[in-house]
Structure 1
Amino acid sequence: MKHLSLATVFAAVSGLVVVWVAGWALDVETSYRYFLAYWGLFFACTGVIDGITHETTRAVAASRTDGKQGRANPWRLGATLGGVALALVAVCGLFFMGAIVPPDPSAATALLAFGLLSYAFQAVLSGVLSGAGLWSRYAALVALDSGVRLVLALLTLALGGGLREFLLITVIGALSWIAILAAAPVRVTLDVDRATFVRRVVSAMAASGASAALITGFPTAVSAAFPDDPETSLTVAAIANAVMLTRAPVLMPLQRFQSALVVRFVEKRERIYAALAAPIGAVLTLGVVGFAAAWLIGPWILRLAFKPELFVAGLTLGLLTFASAFMGMLMITGVAVLALEKHAFYVAGWVVATLTAFAVLFLAPWGVATAVIVALFAGPIAGALVHLAGLVK
């Protein structure tokens, strides 16, 4: 578990550095905004696929704990999901990618399709390693995924690369599973049959898709809620950049620890509220500390490390950081209901959170910053209440 902790810290830092490098390498009003939208789109899509990670983790861990052995094969389902993702992206990219990455929609579509096909297998391996308790190997997967992006981003900046290179950097980490699996194959059993596994994965994907839209796809939604015009373009880019920066220190490590939390809640299902208290308390405490730090030193960091066009006031940075802790709380309550096999409440919580946040974002008569902040508090609170209702016995 120590290795996983180090790997998640490295992943969080690497993600921040990649975004920072892109901010200097690309034009703020156009290419950088398109990069953030594409980055958010890719990780929102991978978030949907992560449903198979969560259910595979639960099924493998439960099989180890209870001794049940079903006939489900996560690799076969992963291949199917990857093929479906490739086909959907190929078709949808023809119609929508021109609005997301106008300068290079063809390359963006091809890279996204390839990345999601590969990520489907990476998601399966993540679930297998986590459920089997092979934390060192899972940590290696996390570190390699992030490290590849970091190295290529720095090389791209040094060599003067542009938007297409950063599109490639976004998806390239999805190949990491090949190296980890080739180094040492692993065999596990799941506790369910094929039909049950497929049904639960689809349910988990529905919830993880809603969570991905709210977590990683949110910058893309901000761009859609406030269309391009001379008065809002820079503000949208600056707020989207601030959202990415302020949530990374809290949510990126927590996303990597979700599999460990699934195992924790499966093992402590009879004392679920006690098991919830520590991680929720930790993430909210981190949010309070982050609020103060972002308010006090955030503006100084932005002035020092980013272009002037991306500056955001300290109070806004602090509130966005604190909001990320509430998003973390929602992730934890979601993992808890999933571990207890309350799949309907798991899906409902994330759907309610996403609809609430997007309703505020698109319908509230406020400016960009206020709408984003309120949306990022309102959505997670509504969703967490649904999850907690599902834990009542």
Structure 2
Amino acid sequence: MTTDRPAPTPDTPSGAAGGTDTDARSLGRVTIATLIAAASGYLVLLLAARHLGAIGYGVFAVFWAAYGLVTGAQNGQLQETTRAVRATSDGTVRSRPILVNVGIGVGLAALVAATSPLWSGEVFTDERWLSVALLAVGVASFAVYAHLCGALSGMLSWSSFAVLLSVDALIRLAGAVIAVAAGLGTTAFLIITVIGSVSWCLLLLGSSAARRAVGVGGDVPPRRLTANTLTAMAAAAASAVLVMGFPVLINLTANLRGTPDADEARLIGALILAVTLTRAPLLVPLNSFQGVLISRFVDRRDRRIAALIAPLGIVGVIGGVGIVAAWAVGPWLLRSIFGADFDLDGYVVALLTAGATCLALLTVTGAAAIAAGAHRWYAAGWWVATLVAVGMLLIPADVEVRTCVALVVGPLVGLGVHVVGVLRRPAA
């Protein structure tokens, strides 16, 4: 499946010569894999909407969101595994991250199953117990997937990482195409949601680098690795709330002021769509490059601020170009593609793009905090950003002003927390 150069074994340094895969071609594969993953996700949603109809799609979309929220928190496993594996470049192995990650995955699956009587009836209106079972199995499998992503990133085995990312997305897309062609219903799409996470099974069969990544070592003892991973997951949960759950926050805070009238409801719908569209160009690829960023920052942990300048600058420049473009053509694109109901002023679309840029900058500083071992500062930055954003949504102003201010101010405050945490950590 892949032809990576030799990767480090569990008993050799992760950064050893010959165990890396860092040329431009390999990182280009990660970029292509990111685009495949993003396009596949959108196509699955499109196929589901057209095939299932509004009612069936509603059932599927709720489960898709629930699975995304939990696995969004599990991205903390990927982040800490990347840091722990990359930091063993001195050859010191104190733990096996696979054991910690599998333990967390099984524990999370058991928690989902045990607590499901308390919440599943409110969340899953149809296919309730199948949804609970699939969610439990899915998060357990995703723990292994997250481990492999993190281990391969820490080993700088980007070709295998790119294959894993692509296969995960393409399995779901292939399943959706088969379900539509065979006339299958909602149940099939629920299974499709979680089935991609078994891509690690296929990778283990075809990649020797992936098989070595299963047992690769970490730089801290198991207890500390577990604590670090859980802290990273807590931060990733805040990230999932701020990124994936922000449309829900807009609705909730708007409803606190009373039921919106027809004009405000239309405006809220347009804002939610615009928030989603303005984020995708920056956040989708950046999230896939988390392992790349963390590995970079670990390798440069003696000059952390200098290492931050380049990625922050790149994100800032791309975001700046996006802000100008959003102001100039954003409203026209929204009206032309989605209809006259999705009408927003140019400054609103530009500020939403600025908010997406601030979230991207927060993601970069978060990777630096993880790499520096400042896990509590990392979690604090994301939670502070989320709480400040919620607070900004409650200020006395129009909904578009509240939304734009929340998306800019919240992440910038969280970014400041991350930078303080990075500066306070002594260089290893």
Q: Same fold (TM over 0.5)?
A: yes
Q: CA deviation at 1:82?
A: 1.6
- Structure 2 distance, partners of 1:172, 1:5, is 23
Contact 2:100 2:226 in 1 (8 A): yes
Contact 2:144 2:200 in 1 (8 A): yes
Q: Which segments of 5 or more consecutive residues in structure 2 lack a partner in the other structure?
A: 1-26
Within a 5 Å distance, the mapping from 1:213-228 to structure 2 comes to: 213-226=241-254
Summarize the Cα distance change of 1:364–1:130 in structure 2 as closer, same or farther, 3 Å threshold: same
Task: Tell me, yes or no, if structure 1 residue 247 matches structure 2 residue 271.
Answer: no
| One of 24, 27, 36 as aligned partner of 1:10 | 36
Q: CA deviation at 1:255?
A: 0.8
RMSD, aligned α-carbons: 3.0
Task: Tell me, yes or no, if structure 1 residue 61 matches structure 2 residue 86.
Answer: yes
Q: Which segments of 5 or more consecutive residues in structure 1 lack a partner in the other structure?
A: none
Aligned position for 2:17? none
More off after superposition, 375-384 vs 287-296: 287-296
Summarize the Cα distance change of 1:222–1:99 in structure 2 as closer, same or farther, 3 Å threshold: farther
| One of 360, 367, 370 as aligned partner of 1:338 | 370
More off after superposition, 90-99 vs 154-163: 154-163
Summarize the Cα distance change of 1:300–1:99 in structure 2 as closer, same or farther, 3 Å threshold: farther
Within a 5 Å distance, the mapping from 1:242-321 to structure 2 comes to: 242-299=274-331, 301-302=333-334, 306=338, 308=339, 311-313=342-344, 315=346, 316-321=348-353
Summarize the Cα distance change of 1:91–1:289 in structure 2 as closer, same or farther, 3 Å threshold: farther
Aligned position for 2:233? 205
- Structure 1 distance, partners of 2:299, 2:249, is 37
Q: CA deviation at 1:136?
A: 0.3
Summarize the Cα distance change of 1:288–1:342 in structure 2 as closer, same or farther, 3 Å threshold: same
Aligned position for 2:134? 111
Contact 1:14 1:150 in 2 (8 A): yes
Give the secondary structure class of the aligned counterpart of 2:220: coil
- Structure 2 distance, partners of 1:34, 1:369, is 29
| One of 107, 111, 117 as aligned partner of 1:84 | 107
- Structure 1 distance, partners of 2:159, 2:253, is 42
Contact 2:44 2:172 in 1 (8 A): yes
Letter aligned with residue 138 of structure 1: F
Q: CA deviation at 1:180?
A: 1.0
Summarize the Cα distance change of 1:220–1:258 in structure 2 as closer, same or farther, 3 Å threshold: same
Contact 2:267 2:342 in 1 (8 A): no
Within a 5 Å distance, the mapping from 1:140-159 to structure 2 comes to: 140-156=163-179
Letter aligned with residue 16 of structure 1: Y
Give the secondary structure class of the aligned counterpart of 1:260: helix
| One of 74, 83, 89 as aligned partner of 1:49 | 74
Q: CA deviation at 1:179?
A: 1.0
Q: CA deviation at 1:383?
A: 0.2
Letter aligned with residue 385 of structure 1: G
- Structure 1 distance, partners of 2:328, 2:261, is 30
Letter aligned with residue 93 of structure 2: Q
Summarize the Cα distance change of 1:353–1:182 in structure 2 as closer, same or farther, 3 Å threshold: same
Write the deviation string for residues 75-117 of structure 1: whole angstroms up to 9, x where unpaired: 2222221222222222444333444443443333332222211
Letter aligned with residue 69 of structure 1: V
Q: TM-score, normalised by structure 1?
A: 0.87
More off after superposition, 177-186 vs 8-17: 8-17
Contact 2:100 2:225 in 1 (8 A): no
Point out the structure with the larger helix share: 1
More off after superposition, 273-282 vs 222-231: 222-231
User: Computing the radius of gyration over CA atoms, which structure comes out larger, 1 or 2?
Assistant: 2
Contact 2:266 2:342 in 1 (8 A): no
Percent identity (aligned): 38
More off after superposition, 346-355 vs 73-82: 73-82
Give the secondary structure class of the aligned counterpart of 2:380: helix
Task: Tell me, yes or no, if structure 1 residue 73 matches structure 2 residue 104.
Answer: no
Q: CA deviation at 1:12?
A: 2.5
Summarize the Cα distance change of 1:329–1:226 in structure 2 as closer, same or farther, 3 Å threshold: same
Letter aligned with residue 189 of structure 1: G
